[in-house]
């Protein structure tokens, strides 16, 4: 489990096809001794399992495997050497829950329709897949590229979020532009509420 609060920006060092899956190596600033084999790290949204760790000069490197489902549902399939990714370590008992409960199970790719920058802030309008838009509500939570955000407005399948200066400075959102794909995870509570409501109706 995660909170959607990014703690580092990693950089893809290499992508190696291994049959259907891909082995992705990511450089980060986490201490090498703090990453265990088998640990979960959210990489721009999807929760990926660490399969190797190494040290290279001042950088820590860790490897993850992206399987077919991850490649199909997320932006991982488009990653290449130099791609920057938002990183978050798995939540520990007692950690501050600064965002909202995030599973790291990306639902689909959403599309950044427009970006309006003002006063060092950015307003993103996002288009979600139609079957997921019912889980997105005004003032509710949503996760985009691993970042916990509050929904400002909703219009059909589209919704807006406001990216404050701090978030722009510590995530990859500073690089995002109209037309970009973003990893979308809808709020877990909204999903359960919809399921309970459907069951109650029979």
- The CATH number given to whatever domain includes residue 48 is 2.40.30.20
Q: Check residue 41 and give left, alpha or beta (phi > 0: left; psi -120 to 50: alpha).
A: beta
- pLDDT surpassing 80 at residue 190: no
| The pLDDT value given to residue 199 | 64
Catalytic residue among 14, 150, 169, 178: 150
Domain ranges, residue 119: 108-201
Catalytic residue among 28, 42, 43, 47: 47
Catalytic residue among 14, 29, 54, 67: 67
Rounded alpha-carbon distances, angstroms, from residue 133 to 4, 100, 156: 20, 19, 7
- Among 41, 1, 4, 6, smallest CA distance to 25 is for 41
CA distance 7 to 19: 32
Catalytic residue among 27, 39, 105, 190: 105
The residue with tokens 């959102």 is 173
Residue 150 a catalytic site member:
yes
Same domain, 72 and 139: no
Catalytic residue among 14, 29, 49, 178: 49
Same domain, 49 and 115: no
Through-space distance between the first and last CA atoms of the chain, rounded to whole angstroms: 31
Domain final position from 62, 89, 116: 89
Range 13-43 burial, b when 16+ CB lie within 10 A, else e: bebeeeeeebebbbbbebeeeebeeebbbbb
| The pLDDT value given to residue 193 | 74
> What are 127's strand-pairing partners?
111, 158
Same domain, 197 and 114: yes
Mean residue pLDDT across the chain = 94
Residue 148 a catalytic site member:
no
pTM of this structure: 0.93
- pLDDT surpassing 90 at residue 19: no
Domain final position from 30, 58, 89: 89
pLDDT tier, 27 (very low <50, low <70, confident <90, very high otherwise): very high
pLDDT digits (tens, 9 = 90+) for 77-109: 999 999 999 999 998 877 777 888 899 999 999
Residue 130 a catalytic site member:
no
Mean per-residue pLDDT, 111-133: 97
Residue 121 a catalytic site member:
no
CA distance 176 to 103: 23
Mean per-residue pLDDT, 139-149: 97
- Among 90, 30, 83, 23, smallest CA distance to 54 is for 30
The number of domains in the chain is 2
Rounded alpha-carbon distances, angstroms, from residue 188 to 14, 103, 119, 161: 32, 8, 32, 18
Contacts with 169 (C-beta within 8 Å, 6 or more apart), sequence order: none
Residue 70 a catalytic site member:
no
């Amino acid at each position: 489990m995660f909170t959607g609060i990014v703690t580092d920006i990693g950089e893809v060092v290499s992508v190696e096809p291994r049959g259907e899956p891909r082995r992705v190596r990511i450089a980060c600033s986490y201490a090498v001794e703090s990453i265990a084999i088998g640990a979960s790290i959210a990489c721009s949204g999807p929760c990926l399992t660490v399969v190797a760790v190494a040290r290279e000069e001042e950088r820590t490197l860790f490897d993850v495997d992206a399987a077919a489902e991850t490649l199909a549902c997320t932006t991982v399939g488009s990653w290449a050497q130099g791609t920057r990714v938002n990183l978050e370590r798995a939540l520990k008992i007692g950690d501050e829950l600064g965002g909202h409960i995030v599973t790291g199970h990306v639902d689909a790719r959403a599309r950044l329709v427009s970006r309006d920058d003002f006063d060092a802030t950015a307003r993103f309008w996002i288009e979600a897949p139609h079957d997921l838009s019912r889980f997105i509500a005004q003032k509710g939570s949503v996760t985009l590229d691993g970042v916990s955000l509050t929904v400002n407005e909703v219009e059909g399948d589209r919704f807006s979020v406001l990216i404050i200066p701090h978030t722009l400075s510590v995530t990859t959102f500073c690089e995002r532009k109209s037309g970009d794909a973003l990893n979308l995870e809808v709020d877990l509570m909204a999903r359960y509420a919809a399921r309970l409501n459907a069951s109650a109706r029979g």
